[in-house]
């Protein structure tokens, strides 16, 4: 059973999410919240923390990016997916820096939302709507590479390719097919990426890629 929390200041949006995912037998909505502050309070009181949170961005009292920034430190087991109508560059960048593992548009279908959640929980995939993924790659391609003093920290051209595919939501098998290498080779490259960037997971690697412009 995958436990969910839904955070949005508009009740109609909350209800829309409930309607789209309630027919999935392996999902359980543990609570809903009307803004970031309300979400943090409900986490304190919750008997069971959610596995995944759909978080809106623009909300009164405390917005979604602030809430994720705080909650990702307090509750590292929770995976945060930003679910919003916005696809502008600054919000994508800030959402990923705050600790979000995905960024989806609210127009996504029920089937896709459900699949994205399962991919996050089961495979650690970074979910992004196609339009968001394109913008993310554009952001990365425009970024300037930061000079790294320690040469061991510099990613190889192959590692940069794999990092771009990770950001685009591809799993090990899909990356291996795109680059014509084995899944085990992909795993080795990803392990080396984590070591060089001094991170432990995909979300952290993406945050560092944005911060340092390593693409």
CB–CB of 83/53 below 8 Å?
no
Q: Quickly name the fold that domain 143-212 has.
A: Arc Repressor Mutant, subunit A (1.10.10)
pLDDT by residue for the chain (215 residues), tens digit each?
999 999 999 999 999 999 988 888 899 999 999 999 999 999 999 999 999 999 999 999 999 999 999 999 999 999 999 988 766 667 777 887 788 888 888 888 888 889 989 989 988 877 776 666 666 666 555 554 443 344 445 788 899 889 888 888 888 889 999 999 998 999 899 989 988 888 887 878 888 877 777 75
- Domain borders along the chain are 2-129, 143-212
Q: Could you tell me where the DSSP H helices lie in the chain?
A: 11-21, 36-45, 64-74, 89-98, 110-123, 130-142, 157-167, 172-179, 183-197, 202-212
Residues 116 and 108 sit within 8 Å (Cβ to Cβ) = yes
Q: What is the pLDDT of residue 149?
A: 41
For domain 2-129, the CATH class is alpha beta
In this chain, the answer to whether the domains covering 2-129 and 143-212 adopt an identical fold is no
pTM more than 0.75:
no
Q: What is the pLDDT of residue 86?
A: 66
Instruction: Tell me the C-alpha distance between 136 and 169, whole Å.
Output: 11
**pLDDT confidence of residue 136:** 61
């Amino acid at each position: 059973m995958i436990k969910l929390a839904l955070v949005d200041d508009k009740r109609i949006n909350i209800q829309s999410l409930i309607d789209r995912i309630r027919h999935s037998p392996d999902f359980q909505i543990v609570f809903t919240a009307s803004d970031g502050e309300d979400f943090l309070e409900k986490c304190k009181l919750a008997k069971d923390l959610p596995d995944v949170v759909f978080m809106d961005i623009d909300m009164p009292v405390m917005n979604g990016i602030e809430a994720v920034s705080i909650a990702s430190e307090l509750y590292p087991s929770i995976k945060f997916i930003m679910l919003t109508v916005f696809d502008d560059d600054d919000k994508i960048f800030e959402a990923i820096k705050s600790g979000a593992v995905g960024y989806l548009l609210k127009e996504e279908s029920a089937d896709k939302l459900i699949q994205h959640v399962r991919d996050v929980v089961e495979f650690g995939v970074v979910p992004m709507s196609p339009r968001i993924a394109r913008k993310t790659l554009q952001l990365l391609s425009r970024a300037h590479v930061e000079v790294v003093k320690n040469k061991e920290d510099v990613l190889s051209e192959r590692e940069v390719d794999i990092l771009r595919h990770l950001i685009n939501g591809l799993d090990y098998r899909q990356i291996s097919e795109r680059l014509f290498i084995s899944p085990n080779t992909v795993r080795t490259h990803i392990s080396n990426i984590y070591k060089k960037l001094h991170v432990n997971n995909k979300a952290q690697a993406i945050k560092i890629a944005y911060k340092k412009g390593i693409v």
